[in-house]
Chain A
Amino acid sequence: MTLTTDPSAPTSPTPPAAGTRPDRPSWRGWLATPSRSRTAAGFALGALLLFAVAPLALTDFRLSLLARYLCYAMVAVGIGLAWGRGGLLTLGQGVFFGLGGYAMAMHLKLADAGPGNLPDFMVLYGQMDELPLWWRPFANPVFALAATVLLPMAVAAVLGTLVFRRRVRGAYFAILSQALAAALAILLIGQQATTGGTNGLTDIQGFFGYDLDDPINQRMVYFIIAGCLLALLALVRQLMYSRYGELLVAVRDAEERVRFLGYDPANVKLVAYVVAAGMAGLAGALFVPAVGIISPALIGIVPSIGFVIGVAVGGRATLLGPVLGAIAVSWAQTSLSEEFPAAWTYFQGLLFVLVVAFLPGGLASLAGVVRRRSTRTSSGGTG
């Protein structure tokens, strides 16, 4: 048995089967094992699509929808790293998305309200005459911006340390991360006076002095989001093809062997989990100016697992699979659920069942699976 068992993982040096020509690049191979020049070409193409084609081809409304999908794609990049590479099925990315989103929204609410004034909902629900203590630091833009990424990372670091050090098993981790998402959503709903309750933080108008109603500024927000997504992809690519990336895959496939080699698997997992949390936090923070709202309904159990579906569909262990999967699934959701809300839920459930049960590598592995099938039939079952 080789160290890597996932068929879509790029590090497994499988011997070429009879009848295949390994030197011929396939699009799956392009997704899974990009060489340096191919990566550069891929990034250039991505940048061209995101920065030139999309803004010219799409209406303002469609572009703001795309900005929303790109935020989900950022979360997906992190899940791809933690789950696809590290085997850490995290069902609670909504927590980190929410922490980032709330940190940003709190600052923007305070900026909208002006110095000394209270955000509108506090007066409405809470009858408060002064700002709660834990809101105050968020008036400072530097603190708020840092908190959007560092706060989720800190929470992930605490939970991750507690869970991984004590070698809590994979399924336990998934359940605990999900319970955390439920707990945060319930907490936010329960503290209506200071968090806005079920409504969340709404009606966000300004973004560091720029009016968000202006289409030009919405465009600027889109460009920031697209730039951040490309930067995160570059970061994860570097991580994946570093020594650390190899170690992460090794921990996923044979944790005990890694331990016997002298590494501490807890630290390896912790890094992936914390990095994924930071990415989700950044995505949440950028989601707020793009959409103008953050609420418990966007970060509870259902959206948290919803983040995973795009990653599963696209291909959990690849670099681009999660991004394309997340965009495709959220695009399908918007276009289908407008017309057939009931059908969409059935479709989403069925998609989950079919992809995970029968195509665990996601759509990125489809070409490989088909090729193996055809090879097997042509060469008499040696594939």
Chain B
Amino acid sequence: MTVILSQLFTGVSIGAVLLLIALGLALTFGQMNVINMAHGEFIMAGAYTTYVLQGVITDAGLSLLVALPVAFFVSGAMGVALEALLIRRLYARPLDTLLVTWGVSLMLQQLARDLFGAPNVQTRAPELLTGNVTVIDSDGGVDLVLANNRLFILALAVLAVAALTVLLRATPLGRRVRAVVQNRDLAAVSGIPTARVDRTTFFIGSGLAGVAGVALTLLGPIGPTMGTNVIIDAFLVVVAGGIGQLKGSVIVAFVLGVLQSTLEYTTTVSVARVLVFVAIVAFLQWRPQGLFTLRTRSLA
């Protein structure tokens, strides 16, 4: 029993990481149909922000708390710059945004290598997050032990989803964003400044990548290629979740997390990755447009 619970918790915590890295992507992909391959490098920027801040603020807990908003603004600003310089010109060509942003991601990786060196660096985790919580203490059997850093990431993911939901559902900006997602042309003729809404969305989406980067520093080393390692997973979550729907990404992230941890338990890590990919392709046979889709009259 505790084995199942502990596997479930591992799965949920993998899901929380997936959700954090995919959330910003879901927003920009959903609204603007932009495939931002540099999203992984925005995550990397958030992670390096944490690393730099630890050099300034010696207290690990405080620097982590400061890093969350700072990373949000650093990655958000990078996103706005990318949108203004390049993506704005490519709205009619979604596949080309993929290639252009991949070129950008190559340059950002090299920039990280030049600034921080090619080897991975490590941040110190705050003391509070290094321990475990023992939930079930079975005598001699398998205990259910939850790692504090995983719990923190789970809380962060829940918080991010809640904040984004409130933003989209209850604010004027959210109403505009939803209007642009559903029908860009109609929103434009209704007087919504779609270009400005796009830029704000891109800021928020890229900022969320920065927050995800801060969370990833709790789990492993920080390196120039860390963005490439997570970007594929993030895209698979968005594709299987359906475009323009946050709840799709949320459900798919946790399902994939649990699936991944179960498969890793029964096979090996690398075989589990392949099986998850097969599962997603099979799932798309059932729902080609992802779990949830906006109904439109478009034929494409």
Binding site for B on A (CB under 8 A): 87, 89, 91, 159, 162-163, 166-172, 174-176, 178-180, 182-184, 186-187, 189-191, 255-256, 301-302, 305, 308, 312, 342, 345-346, 348-353, 356-357, 360
Looking at B104-112, B153-161, B211-219, the stretch in contact with chain A turns out to be B104-112
Could you say which residues of chain B place their CB within 8 Å of the CB of A169?
289, 300
Per the 8 Å Cβ criterion, residues 103-153 of B in contact with A are 103-107, 109-110, 113-114
Is B170 an interface residue, CB under 8 A from the partner?
Answer: no
- Binary interface profile of B, 281-298, with partner A (CB < 8 Å = 1, else 0)? 110110011000000000
List the B side residues contacting A348 at CB < 8 Å: 103, 106
| Set of chain B residues within 8 Å of A305, measured between Cβ atoms | 99, 102
- Are A171 and B98 neighbours in the complex by a CB distance under 8 Å? yes
B104 near A175 with CB under 8 A, answer: no
Q: Shortest Cβ distance from A305 into chain B, in angstroms?
A: 6
Give CA–CA (A348, B107) in the complex, Å: 8
Residues B273 and A187 in contact, CB atoms below 8 Å apart: yes
> What is the CB-to-nearest-CB distance from B26 to chain A, in angstroms, rounded to a whole number?
13
User: In the complex, which of the residues A168, A175, A183, A349 contacts B235, with contact meaning CB atoms closer than 8 Å?
Assistant: A175
The residue of chain A having its C-beta at the shortest distance from the C-beta of B234 within the complex is A175
A357 to B280, CA, bound (A): 31
Give 11 CB contacts A-B under 8 Å.
A169-B289, A175-B35, A176-B284, A179-B232, A179-B277, A183-B273, A256-B300, A349-B104, A350-B107, A357-B86, A360-B96
Asked if B64 is at the interface (CB within 8 A of a chain A CB), the reply is no
CA separation between A159 and B280, bound complex, in Å?
A: 12
Whether A167 touches B35, Cβ cut-off 8 Å, given contacts A345-B110, A356-B103, is no
Q: Are B89 and A171 in touch, CB under 8 angstroms?
A: no
Contact across chains for B232 and A174 when beta carbons are under 8 A apart: no
Asked if B114 contacts A89 (CB within 8 A), the reply is no
Note all chain A residues with C-beta closer than 8 A to B96.
356-357, 360
Query: Does B271 count as interface, using CB distance less than 8 angstroms?
Result: yes
Residues of A within 8 A of B3 (CB): none
The CA of A163 and the CA of B283, in the complex, are separated in Å by 11
State A353–B100 Cα separation when bound (angstroms). Answer: 5
Count chain B residues whose beta carbon lies closer than 8 angstroms to a beta carbon of A: 43
Which of A183, A187, A352 is the one whose CB lies under 8 Å from B106? A352
Complex contact A345–B107 (CB within 8 A)? yes
A352 vs B96: C-alpha distance when bound (angstroms) = 10
The 6 nearest A-B residue pairs measured at CB: A190-B270, A352-B103, A349-B106, A349-B107, A345-B110, A353-B103
In the complex the two chains form, is B98's CB within 8 Å of A180's CB?
A: no
Residue in chain A with minimal CB distance to B282: A162
- Contact across chains for B99 and A312 when beta carbons are under 8 A apart: yes
Question: Nearest residue in A to B103 (C-beta to C-beta)?
Answer: A352
In the complex, chain B residues 144-202 whose Cβ is within 8 Å of any chain A Cβ: none
Asked whether B84 is an interface residue with its Cβ less than 8 Å from the other chain, the reply is no
Tell me if A179 and B107 are in contact (CB < 8 A): no
A sample of 11 more A-B contacts (CB under 8 A), given A175-B232, A176-B284, A353-B104, is: A166-B288, A170-B95, A175-B236, A178-B232, A187-B273, A255-B300, A312-B99, A342-B113, A349-B105, A349-B107, A357-B90
Whether the Cβ atoms of A351 and B99 lie closer than 8 Å is no
User: How distant is the Cα of A256 from the Cα of B104 in the complex, in angstroms?
Assistant: 33
Contact partners of A356 in chain B: CB under 8 A: 96, 99-100, 103
A168 and B89 CA atoms in complex are apart in Å by 25
Q: Measured between C-beta atoms, what is the minimum distance from B270 to chain A in Å?
A: 2
When distances are taken between beta carbons in the complex, the residues of chain A under 8 Å from B5 are: none
Within the complex, what minimum Cβ distance (angstroms) separates B39 from chain A?
A: 12
Q: Given the complex, which residues of B lie within 8 Å of A172, measured CB to CB?
A: 239, 284
Question: Do B109 and A345 have beta carbons less than 8 Å apart?
Answer: yes
**Chain B residue with the shortest CB-CB distance to A181:** B232
Within 8 Å of chain A (Cβ to Cβ): is B299? yes
Complex CA–CA separation, A349 to B99 (angstroms): 10
| Nearest A residue (CB) for B228 | A301
Chain B residue contacts of A351, Cβ below 8 A:
103
Among A174, A179, A191, A345, contact of B98 (Cβ-Cβ < 8 Å): A174
- The residue in A176, A308, A312 that gathers the most chain B C-beta atoms within 10 A of its C-beta is A176
- Could you say which residues of chain B place their CB within 8 Å of the CB of A176? 239, 280-281, 284
- Of all chain B residues, which has the CB nearest A176? B281
Question: Which residues from chain B contact A350 at a C-beta distance below 8 Å?
Answer: 103, 107
Residues 229-250 of B at the A interface (beta carbon under 8 Å): 232, 235-236, 239
Contact B106 A190 (CB under 8 A): no
Cα A347 to Cα B217 in complex, Å, equals: 30
Which residue from chain A places its CB closest to the CB of B102 in the assembled complex?
A305
The answer to whether B299 and A256 have CB atoms under 8 Å apart is yes
Q: In the assembly, what is the distance between CA of A323 and CA of B194, in Å? A: 41
Give the contacting residue for A190; candidates B109, B269, B289; CB below 8 A.
Answer: B269
A184 to B274, CA, bound (A): 7
Q: How far is the CB of B87 from chain A (nearest CB, A)?
A: 9
Residues of B near A352 (CB, < 8 A) are 99-100, 102-103, 106
Q: For residue A345, which residue of chain B has the nearest CB?
A: B110
Instruction: Using A186-B274, A190-B270, A353-B86 as known contacts, say yes or no to A174 and B95 having CB atoms under 8 A apart.
Output: yes
Q: How far in angstroms is the closest Cβ of chain A from B9?
A: 24
* Docked-complex contact A357 and B100, CB < 8 angstroms: yes
